[in-house]
Chains A and B, each alone.
Chain A
Amino acid sequence: MGVPESDVDDVYVDVFMKIHGNVGTFKCGGPAKLTTWIYRIAQNVAVDYHRSSKLNKMSTEFNEESPKHSKARDGACAGRNAELLKWLDGELAKLSERDQALLKWRALEIPYAQIGEWQGMTEVAARVRHQRAMEKLFTAAKSVLSEGAVPQ
Chain B
Amino acid sequence: MTEINGPEGPEQPAGNTPDEAAVGPRRVVGTPPPAQARALLVRPEDEEKAPDRELPSEPDDLVLAKKAEKLVASLFILAMLAGFGFIAAYIGLEVHSLDAVLRSNLALGLSMAVAFLALGAGAVIWVRHLMPEVELTEARKPLRSSPEDKAAFKETFTEGADASQFVKRPILRRTLIAATVPVAVAPIVLLRDMGPLPGTSLRHTAWRKGTRLVQAVTGVPVLATDFVTPGGILTVVPEGTLSDDEELAKSTVLLIKLRPEQLEKPTVMNWTVNGTVAYSKICTHLGCPAALYEQTTHHILCPCHQSTFDAARGAAVIFGPAARPLPQLPITTDSEGYLVAQSDFHEPVGPSFWERG
Do A and B come from the same complex?
no
Interface residue ranges, A against B (CB under 8 Å): none
